[in-house]
Structure formats: C-alpha cells, structure tokens
Amino acid sequence: MAVLSSPLILIQSIPPVTRGFTLATVIFSTVYGWLCWKGLGPQAAQYMTVVPGSALFYPWTLVTSMFVETSLLEFVASMIFVPASLKYLERLWGSIEILKFIVVSVGVSNLIAFAFNWIEFVATRNAELFLYGMQYHGQMALQTTILVAFTQLIPEHQVQVFGFMKARVKALPMAYLTLSTVLCIVGFQCPWIIIQFGWFVGWVYLRFYKKNSSETLGGVDTYGDRSETFSLVSWFPPFLHTPLTILGNFVFNLATRFHLIPASSGDIEIGSYSQVPGTARAEAERRRALALKALDQRLANSSSPVSSHSAATPSHPPRVPPQAAAGPANPSPLERQKPASEADVPDRGKSADSR
C-alpha cells in the first residue's frame, strides 16, 4: 500500500499549473504522434501546431502548439527540463503568475514568428516555403524564457550541462541564443528562430510587465525588474552598450508616451529608460551597494592611522623577561640610588683581578 501511495503523494506535491502543463504535453504529443502514424500528419499539423498559412483560421494553435513535441528527442528534453523548472518558479511566483508567464512567452513568440513569416512571404512571394513549409511547435520559446527567468533570480548559480560542462546560469540564455543564430544562418529557420523571439519576449515581460506581488512601494504594486543587472545592455558586450542604450531610451520613451508599459516612481522622476528605477529590488540593490561602499571607506579610514604610525616608528626592541629587567627581587635603598657607572666598578675590578 505504501508503494502504491508514494507516486500519488509525489503527484500531489507538484503545483497545479505545472501538473496540468505536464499532463497536457504528454496527451497532445501522444495524440499528434498517433495521428501521424495513421497518415493524418498534415491535418494534425494544421489543427495542433502553428502553420503561418493556416494559423489565421486556427488561432488557438498560437498557444496549444507548445504542448506538441513532434519527435521523441524533443519530448524527452522538454520533460526533463521544463516541468522541474516550472515547479520551482510556480512555488516562487504563484500559480497565476506562472500561468501568465507561460501564455505570454509562448503565445507572443509564436505571434512574432507568424508575422515574420508573412513578411518573408511578402518579400519573396514564396508561399510554399514561408506559409506552408514551416511549422512552429514545442517548448523552445518557453525553455528560453525560463533561462531568462533563472538569470534574473539566480544568475551566479553554477550548473552542469550534459553532466561534465560547468556554466553559470547567466551564460545559458546567450549560449542557447547563439546556437539558434548559427542554425538559422545555416538554413534551419524553423523552429530554431523561435528561441530568439522567446528570449526577447521573456526579457520584456520580466523587465516591465510581471507583477511583483511581494514587493510594494508605499502600498502601490510594482511591475518588472528595473535593476541594472537585468538591463538589456547587460546581455551584450561593452562595445554595443552605447548604441543599445540610445535605442532603448528611444523605444522606452515612445512606449511610455503611449502607456504601453506600467510606469514606476523611478521612471516618472527620471523621465527616461533608467538603469536603476524604483522597484523594491532595484532599491535594495542600490542600498546594498551604498552600504558596501561606506564599509570600504570606513575600513580604509580606520586602517590608515595604524599603517602611518607603524611606518613612522622604528621596530620594537625584543622584549626582556620581567625578572631580568627588574634585577633583584628586593633591592636596597642604596642600590636604587647608586648610579649605573658606579655599580659597574666592582665588576670591572673583579674581571681585572681575574685576568
């Protein structure tokens, strides 16, 4: 009875959104594989995945396509990484926030891919390739946004990739993005380009739109993470920081003017795309940096007098034992008053007589 009840206890310990997401992935992927085995692959692709030429008639595929893995390798990789990651994030954020995170990450990424393919069709007039020859499915976009979320939460945490390569969490999104870029250049646009869209959508959502339920400023809800360590330029090498900052300021000011992003107190005060606006996390970061700076200055000020005094005074002579320094235990008054030169005379005489 205990053996049979342990799997049930394990399933019940999984948060509800993660549990439902995993179950839906298993069901949808199994149904898709069964339909393809029956020879109904094209029909299954239209109804269950994002095909740019037919997604206008089946808009639900923009979200449901994430439950469909078309190969065994993709299915196994998703089952190993995604449920465990969602379980961690759901316990941290709550069920509502993780559900919004999943829908936004996959739905908006698929919508961008859909629009991008239509732009390619308008430019090339190749409908067979760009409208009906590409099929977006699976959880690559969600995997990328999860990596972005881990970069926000535990950037310095070290993990082992494939069991032997060690890497910090903050390096994983750009490594995945680099792989996507290389494969897109080689010619595998679908589905690898969805990784790039997922990275950008995940960063924008976590930066500006995610509600911080545990962080408030004066009783007002805050949104996003406006800290310097999570800025857009932090993802890129230093030589790109200046042009990206200019472009980011322009887009941010434009989005603020049309009320496309939630405003915070720091944005209103500064009036631009601030690197450290006023969310609770950014304020805590700023205070911690100031405290560390003040501590360094205090340590420097306290150590400077000691170092200058030690440099000005000569080295201390060796210590003499108390008995040797004090002489006899009870010296007479005459011995206390006798000069040192007279006290040495008998000794010199004795030494002369001995010679």
List, for residues 22-67, the tens digit of each pLDDT value. Answer: 999 999 999 999 999 999 988 999 999 999 998 999 999 999 999 9
Write out the two tokens for 78.
């998703």
Predicted confidence (pLDDT) per residue in 148-181, tens digit:
999 999 888 888 776 677 888 888 999 999 999 9
Cα angle 260-265-268, degrees, rounded to a multiple of 5: 65
Count Cβ atoms within 10 A of the Cβ of residue 287 and give its class: 0-12 exposed, 13-18 middle, 19 or more buried.
Answer: exposed
Matching residue, tokens 């970069």 = 151
Distance CA 186, CA 183 (A): 5
**What's the confidence (pLDDT) of residue 211?**
85
**Lowest mean pLDDT segment, chosen from 90-99, 125-134, 226-235, 318-327:** 318-327
**Lowest mean pLDDT segment, chosen from 11-15, 125-129, 257-261, 320-324:** 320-324
Any idea what DSSP says for residue 228?
G
* Sign of the dihedral defined by the CA atoms of residues 283, 287, 288, 289, in that order: positive
Per DSSP bridges, beta strands 165-168 and 220-223 are unpaired
Write out the two tokens for 70.
């078309």
Which band of pLDDT confidence, cut at 50, 70 and 90, is reported for residue 196? Answer: very high
The better pLDDT of the pair 286, 139 is held by 139
The CATH class that applies to domain 11-209 reads mainly alpha
Write out the two tokens for 308.
């200058």
Any idea what DSSP says for residue 355?
-
Predicted confidence (pLDDT) per residue in 85-138, tens digit:
999 999 999 999 999 999 999 999 999 999 999 999 999 999 998 999 899 999
Cα–Cα distance list, 22 to 84, 85, 142 (Å)? 10, 12, 13
Q: Is the pLDDT of residue 1 over 90?
A: no
Q: What is the phi/psi pair of residue 268, to 5°?
A: -70, -40
Predicted confidence (pLDDT) per residue in 259-279, tens digit:
888 765 444 333 334 433 344
Residue 310 CB coordination number (10 Å)? 9
Cα–Cα distance list, 227 to 153, 155, 279, 322 (Å)? 12, 13, 8, 63
Any idea what DSSP says for residue 13?
T
Give the 3-state secondary structure of residue 331: coil
Check whether the bond before 321 is cis (ω within 30° of 0): no
Average pLDDT, the chain: 78
Distance CA 111, CA 56 (A): 11
Which band of pLDDT confidence, cut at 50, 70 and 90, is reported for residue 215? Answer: low
Q: Is the pLDDT of residue 346 over 50?
A: no
The ranges assigned to domains in the chain are: 11-209, 212-294
Instruction: List all residues 6 or more positions away from 272 whose beta carbon is below 8 Å from its beta carbon.
Output: 249, 252, 253
Residue 205's nearest CA partner among 146, 160, 129 is: 146
- Contact yes or no for 25/79 (Cβ under 8 A): yes
